[in-house]
Amino acid sequence: MNDQELKIKNFSQTWPKPSKNNPIVIIGTGGIVKDAHLPAYKKAEFEVIGLYDVDKKKAVELAKDFNIKKVYDSLDESFENSNCIFDLALPPAILLEVVEKLPENIFAIFQKPLGRSLEEGNKIRKICHQKNIKACMNFQLRFSPIMLPVYEAIRQNLLGDLVELEVHVNVHTPWELWPFLKTLDRVEVPLHSIHYIDWIRSVLGNPKSLYCQSVKHPKVSELADCRTSAIFNYGDQIRCCMTINHCHSFGRKNQDAYIRLEGTKGAAKMTLGLLLDYPNGEPEELEIKTENTDWIKFDINGKWFPDAFIGVMSNMQRFKNGEDNKLITSIDDSIDTMAVVDSCGISSESGGLKVDYAE
Residue 159 lies in a domain: yes
**pLDDT of 218:** 97
Tell which of 90, 110, 139 closes a domain: 139
Pairing mode, strands 162-170 and 267-271: unpaired
Residue 294 domain-assigned (yes or no): yes
Residue 130: predicted pLDDT: 98
CA nearest to 111, candidates 211, 50, 190 = 190
Mean pLDDT by 10 residues, the chain (359 residues): 90 97 97 94 98 97 97 96 95 95 98 95 98 98 98 98 98 91 94 97 98 97 97 98 97 97 98 92 96 96 94 98 98 98 96 88
159 and 131 in a common domain: no
What CATH number is associated with residue 206?
A: 3.30.360.10
**CATH (domain of 108):** 3.40.50.720
Supply the DSSP string of 162-196, one letter for each residue: EEEEEEEEE-B--GGG-GGGGG-S--HIIIIIHHH
Amino acid making up residue 31 = G
Residue 36 half-sphere exposure, CB side, CA atoms within 13 Å?
28
Residue 304 · residue 284 · CB < 8 Å: yes
CA distance 101 to 54: 15
How much is the pLDDT for 359? Answer: 83
Judge whether 192 and 199 are in contact, CB under 8 Å. no
The reply to whether 156 and 31 lie within a common domain is no
pLDDT at 279: 83
If asked whether residues 296 and 161 sit together in one domain, one would say: yes
Domain encompassing residue 82 = 24-139
Inside any domain, residue 344: no
Residue 320 lies in a domain: no
Per-residue confidence (pLDDT) for residue 4, from 0 to 100: 87
- Looking at the fold, whether 160 and 61 belong to one and the same domain comes out as no
Looking at the fold, whether 36 and 150 belong to one and the same domain comes out as no
**Residue 342, domain member (yes or no):** no
Total domains in the chain come to: 2
Whether 253 and 284 map to the same domain: the answer is: yes
In this structure, the answer to whether residues 165 and 258 fall within a common structural domain is: yes
Cis upstream peptide for 174 (omega within 30°): no
The whole-number pLDDT of residue 313 equals: 98
Q: H-type helices in 24-114, by residue range?
A: 31-32, 38-44, 56-65, 75-78, 92-99
